[in-house]
Amino acid sequence: MGCFLTLVEPIVVFKSLADSFYDTALLMVVYNQCNRTADNSTYYEQQKEASKFFLFYDIISCLVPLLPAVTLGKCADKRGLKILTVIPLLGYLLGRSFLFFIEMFKLPQYVMFIGHAVTGLCGGYPAYWTGINAIAALRSTNNNRSVRMSSLELSSGIAKLLGSILSGHIFMIPNNHTGLPVTVLSLALYTLSVVYSAFIIKYPAVTADEQRGLLPSPIEEKKDMRAMVYLFVAANIFYLGMLGGENVISLFVLKPPLSWDAIWVGYGHAATNMMYVTSFLAVLIGSKYLSDTFLILTGIFSNCAGMVMMSFVKQSYLFFIGKFVRY
């Protein structure tokens, strides 16, 4: 039992399940509201309204957490890693509860910007994932640290995969398809993650020697700086393209020719979250026989090939074939 209380995987599973339920509920609620508020009933107007919402939503997600995450990181260095898990998770709980009020009181979807800003001001994903990785790193050795980090991604991916499949079915339970059951379940899981991170898990104590062991020496840092800059630029360009593509795909599947409902949206999110499982297996197996450069290029090319295939999708099964090629 004592060993279990040192694991961060329960936090990752609770939070990932909550994310998958929330993502499905948010997409369907926003799109349904856009159907009612668009100037006319054409799919173009609905798509335009939904695209505008998610554009600003993603901008808030990227920009607002930057300064709070750095501030929380400095506080965590002095006061312990608990700050980097509890505060961001509490921000998720508070910020995403706005979706519940939107559904209950028929508020406009743009109220979610306030909730998303609250999440960002509490550190958001950057602070949360930094804290999770820091705890895992301190609980592992130099030999198994890479596998330990990959296992966190795997835990998150499996939880999101299962949550995405279930979320669509739960969304369709009530006759009016309001999404309230999915939202309430998501908030309950966020609450569990906050309780576990605040009162149950035992945090490692960070000593000065351990801090030095996790950081490169000044000579190594200077030597690898150019490579780090190249990798940072390449990763951000790739992430920008992938994030933009996923947002387009999420809205594309809701209109003809696919016209998906919440159940199929859940299946689509599950196919996306398979990436975590396949990437873990690729790192675990492929790294024994292939170079890191080759693995990176394979991932980039497969993603591009899958996106090209999905641009011509007119039937649902072709969508999942394109996802399979990507991941």
The model carries a pTM of 0.86
**Under a CB-based contact definition with an 8 Å cutoff, are residues 167 and 269 in contact?**
yes
pLDDT (tens, 9 = 90+) of the chain, 327 residues, equals 556 567 899 999 999 999 999 999 999 999 888 877 655 556 677 778 888 899 899 889 988 998 999 999 999 988 889 999 999 999 999 999 999 999 999 899 999 999 999 999 999 999 999 999 999 888 887 777 777 887 888 899 899 999 999 998 888 876 555 788 999 999 999 999 999 999 999 888 765 555 545 555 555 555 567 777 777 787 778 777 777 777 778 888 888 888 898 889 999 989 888 877 887 777 777 777 777 778 778 888 888 888 888 888 889 988 999 888 877
> For residue 92, which of 125, 53, 132 has the smallest C-alpha distance?
125
Look at residue 162 in the predicted model and tell me its pLDDT: 94
Which residue do the tokens 């993650």 mark? Answer: 193
Q: Which two tokens stand for residue 326?
A: 């990507």
Look at residue 7 in the predicted model and tell me its pLDDT: 83
- For residues 302 and 258, give the distance between their C-alpha atoms in angstroms, rounded to a whole number: 23
Domains of the chain: 4-215 (1.20.1250.20)
Instruction: Tell me if the bond preceding 10 is cis, omega within 30° of 0.
Output: no
Look at residue 82 in the predicted model and tell me its pLDDT: 93
What's the longest Cα–Cα distance across the chain?
Answer: 64
**Under a CB-based contact definition with an 8 Å cutoff, are residues 89 and 197 in contact?**
yes
- For residues 307 and 180, give the distance between their C-alpha atoms in angstroms, rounded to a whole number: 33
Look at residue 216 in the predicted model and tell me its pLDDT: 53
Look at residue 234 in the predicted model and tell me its pLDDT: 79
Give 256's DSSP letter. T
